[in-house]
Structure 1
Amino acid sequence: MDNILDSAKKLHFVGIGGSGMCPMAELLMHRGYEISGSDQNESDTLDRVKSWGIPVYMGHSPENIGEAEAVVYTAACKSDNPELVAAREKGVPTLERSVMLGMLTEKYPQLVAVSGTHGKTTTTAMLTQIFIETGADPSAIIGGKLPIINSNCRVGKSDTIICEACEYVDTFLQLHPAVSLILNIEPDHLDYFKTLDNIVKSFRQFAVQTDRLLVVNAANQSVMQAVEGLEREVVSFGLDSSCDYYPAALNEEPSACEDFTLMCRGEALGMVNLAVPGKHNMLNALAAAAAAHSLGIAPEAICSALEHFGGVHRRFEILGQFDGVTVADDFAHHPTELTAVLSSAMRMGYKQVWAVFQPHTYSRTYTFLNDFAEALAIPDHLIMTEILAVREENTYNIHTSDLAAKVPGSVWFDSFDKIAEYVMGNAQPGDLILTLGGGDIYKCANLIVERYQKRK
């Protein structure tokens, strides 16, 4: 397919306030394209778009596309959307978001793409912070807000763009990176992939589409299977010295945040004192360090930036402390992610951990029911919502009550209002309330914070 950005200069975004749409609109605007957009709902991201002077229409209407030479839409957009219908009638090309991302990133000589079932957002953010602090001036598209730029997007002047490469419905196959990180491969999105073998095949194709360098997790068998026999430079990271990059001299003190010496093929590159909790974040840091060092960034700059990295929006994000109770929010929605986050939380010295979990999709809950039960048994207390349907019908006949039956002492409610009332009525000073999930559970966290604030 020809790159439409070579010919079209006026682009219209349907759903421009979306977290995946907004960064592309910003980058394209700064590259000299004329951007317009529409959306149904007011949001912080939409306010940001408007602050750049981009015309935004509330609601969807055929006339909104104006003189656009191409229309970009989100995956959630229905085919009968009036703006898409109008574009087709006028013969204006329409492109799904991931296709435009592929075309946009093609404009950068060095695309560094971060893939994997877990850890993409944090690792992309870590890598972006390393590049920024070393003066490499990257552009970046991140799945969450990075505090040092207060955004999920950065417009840089260099040839490098760093972005997440999401495997769901093979969207990452729109990308042709110079450098790819593969953090891990596990069964997920089985509503689409059906089997782990199919997931590995997609990651292999993603690796094939990578021109120069693959940075891979050597401890993950599926990752190694995906890159086996490829004629690319492969750099590995992991927890032991069989990998190219690994940690040594780990702090033996029981601590949520890891301190370690960053090693490269037997040579000590420097000490890293992470400010984000969990062994999973140490692996994310090793992946970012391996990529940055392989791309020529000085070890001391890498170690320094990783120490300064304070996390990303919705990744163990501390929202505040109220009446001695800490409230935090995390995006974890897969058993592996929940195990990592909850294990870290239990090592952080809180008296009790109150986990508030929103199951995300019927298929995932049904497929991993026992794994979810094992992960959710880690905290002191578990409160759950009904399953968030997202894009599915409940053909699995699965309910939160099925999960609750496997976790003794757990409770569930049908509204955030009831959850807030319950958890605030029981949490004591020194406790942690941690909301978890990939849906809109953050609204419950915000509700809890608002109610605590009103108590003052």
Structure 2
Amino acid sequence: MMNNPNPISEYIRPGKRAHLVGIGGVSMCPLAEVLHGMGLEVQGSDMTESESVLRLRQLGIPVTVGHNADNLGDCDFVVRTAAVHDSNPEIAGAVARGIPVYERAQAWGAIMRGYPNALCVSGTHGKTTTTSMCTHIFMAARQDPTVMIGGTLPLIHSGYRVGKGDTIILESCEYCNSFLSFFPTVAVILNVEADHLDFFKDLADIEHSFHRFAELVPPAGHVIANADDQGAMESLEGLAHPVFTFGLDHPADCTAAHIAEAEGCPVFDVMVRGERYAHVTLRVHGRHNILNALAAASAAYLLGLPGSAVEEGLAGFTGAARRFERKGTYHGADIYDDYAHHPDELHALLESVKGLGYRRLIVAFQPHTYSRTISFFDRFVEELKTPDVAVLAEIYAARESNTTGISSADLCRNIPGSVYCSTLDKVTEELARLARPGDLILTVGAGDIYRAGEKLLERA
């Protein structure tokens, strides 16, 4: 936060001109549309042309490609993404001219104060899936919610929608304490694990951040937490606000009963304090998705939605993009893609596919960031011993520089039978060589590993 003595709420009102740096991004594009709908004059810039940029221009929002201080024009304030640094010419130009600069999370926080219900879904993993499940439920209940998801949801053909109802649903990330700029009336905490250790000191620091997030909930609001997750429960110790829990292995306010399977997917009753609230048939696999569904159902229950909306909404949920997303078939092998980039996510994914009946499991894994690879090196090694064959793509750097010399080749040396590929093209070549009828091939990671699977399918 810089050059901004006044809260951003003083600028988010009709007639003010906002300049968004990185306006085409996954959470900046919806922000631009929401601000535009509120009567602000919105403009922005991005590094490349994209469908998001085209959509904004169609709405009458001018977007410049490339960053230059002249793009600021006569704007009243600037909003930037976390990827935009102080050295950006538009940020430097705003500071030089005394134009206040705010973070994206601050803008969303100010916006959500205008909604009676602000449902914020947090956790180390599962956020996108659970936020998507919530969206399905609230759409089924005809609540017309405004939504911000960190991935594409087929139901809304996007990662966001701007509704006219009284509920806003947001995926809420702890990285850089972004979610502490929010104003949740319902705070969901799915799990709290060690992650983002390039920012947080340790797990205790992360738990402290989630505790502060829960403290943002007003007395009339709700805190929802996973009773089965030690980190989530430890983060809420000493919280003055009562906590509504969900879980399978520990006593909880919301749980699942009569769990069965239909076509490999869970079927169960959602029980709230001993009473059946809904009967759910999921179309996604895995025990972790039962917990995600219980979290979404808990939020729906506390906000007064009928169990029928939970049933209808979850029955139509087939997953968000890059969450065990079917991509196609190559030489008789099914190709799926998943965003898992933390050892717990990788474990949940591999567990969920064990009973699907494939002859072999081939996993092409791309570690995400050098710091995460170093922090969880041994755990990644153990998880990647599970597949029949592990293909290791080089580490996806994202925001980091490789100051330690760590490489996926180091993982490979510790995983029997694994293969190291220095480029995505080599990953594609290796997958083409390996693929046989009856195989399940997973491309896994938060970077661009999905491209290897897509290139493979182009050969089919």
TM-score over 0.5 (shorter chain): yes
Query: SS of 1:187's equivalent?
Result: coil
Counterpart of 1:103 (choices 96, 100, 110) is 110
2:337 is matched with 329
Which residue of 168, 172, 183 corresponds with 2:179? 172
After TM superposition, the structure 1 = structure 2 runs for residues 10-409 of structure 1, keeping only pairs within 5 Å, are 10-211=17-218, 212-240=221-249, 242-251=251-260, 256-409=264-417
RMSD: 1.7
Indicate conservation of the 8 Å contact 2:330/2:435, yes or no: no
Q: Secondary structure at the match of 1:250?
A: strand
Aligned length: 451
User: Counterparts of 1:221 and 1:286 in 2: how far apart (Å)?
Assistant: 17
User: Could you tell me how far 1:146 is from its partner in structure 2?
Assistant: 1.2
Q: Which moved more, 1:188-197 or 1:384-393?
A: 384-393
Shift of 1:252: 6.2
Contact 2:390-2:417 within 8 A present in 1 as well: yes
Name the stretch that deviates more: 119-128 or 23-32: 23-32
109-118 or 256-265, which deviates more: 256-265
| Counterpart in the other structure of 2:3 | none
Deviations 1:221-278 (A, max 9, x none): 221122223232321000047111111111168x642111111111122321110111
Question: Corresponding residue for 2:457?
Answer: 449
Q: Deviations over 1:376-399 (max 9, x none)?
A: 112221111111222223333422
Task: Go from structure 1 to structure 2 and tell me whether the alpha carbon gap of 1:99 and 1:261 turns closer, same or farther (over 3 Å shift).
Answer: same
Equivalent residues of 1:385, 1:400 under 8 A apart = yes
- Contact 2:13 2:38 survives alignment (8 Å): no
CA distance in 2 between counterparts of 1:16 and 1:370 reads 39
Q: CA deviation at 1:140?
A: 0.8
Runs of at least 5 residues in structure 2 that lack an aligned partner in the other structure: 1-5
SS in 1 for 2:233: helix
Runs of 5+ consecutive residues of structure 1 not aligned to the other structure: none
CA distance in 2, matches of 1:328, 1:8: 47
The CA deviation at 1:183 is: 0.3
- 2:51 aligned partner, one-letter code: D
Question: Is the contact between residue 343 and residue 378 of structure 1 (CA under 8 Å) also seen in structure 2?
Answer: no
Equivalent pairs: percent with the same residue? 46
Amino acid of the structure 2 residue aligned with 1:332: A
388-397 vs 266-275, greater mean Cα deviation: 388-397
Amino acid at match of 1:86: G
CA spacing shift, 1:252–1:53, aligned 2, 3 Å = closer
Q: Deviations over 1:390-436 (max 9, x none)?
A: 22233334221221122100001111111111111220122222111
Deviation digits for residues 287-321 of structure 1 (CA, Å, limit 9, x no counterpart): 00011011100012112211111110111111122
Say which is worse superposed, 390-399 or 263-272, in terms of deviation.
390-399
Q: Over residues 19-74 of structure 1, what are the superposed CA-to-partner deviations in whole Å (9 max), with x where a residue is unaligned?
A: 12111112112222221111112333333333323211111122212221111111
Distance in 2, Cα, partners of 1:197 & 1:283: 24
Q: Is the 8 A contact 2:227 2:250 kept in 1?
A: no
Asked if 2 retains the 8 angstrom alpha-carbon contact of 1:256 and 1:345, the reply is no
Q: What residue is the counterpart of 2:427 in the other structure?
A: 419
Please state how far the C-alpha of 1:375 moved relative to its aligned partner: 1.2
Structure 2: how far apart are the matches of 1:252 and 1:19?
A: 35
**Kept after mapping to 2: 8 A contact 1:240/1:247:** no
Q: SS at the partner of 2:74? A: coil
Per-residue CA deviations over 1:325-365 (Å, capped at 9, x if unaligned) read: 22211110000000111221232222222111111111111
**Residues 31-40 or 274-283, more deviating:** 31-40
Could you tell which deviates more after superposition, 15-24 or 102-111?
Answer: 102-111
How big is the shift at 1:451? 2.5
**Separation in structure 2 between the aligned mates of residue 403 and residue 226 of structure 1, nearest angstrom:** 32
Given that 1:356 and 1:383 are in contact with CA atoms closer than 8 Å, whether structure 2 keeps it comes out as: yes
Quick one: distance in 2 between partners of 1:388 and 1:293?
40
Partner secondary structure for residue 57 of structure 1: strand
Equivalent position amino acid for 1:233 in 2: P
Q: Decide whether aligned partners of structure 1 residues 384 and 35 sit closer, same or farther in structure 2, where only a CA change above 3 A counts.
A: same
Q: In 1, are the aligned partners of 2:15 and 2:39 still within 8 Å (CA)?
A: no
Encode CA deviations 1:133-165: one digit per residue, 9 max, x unaligned: 111111110111111110111111122101011
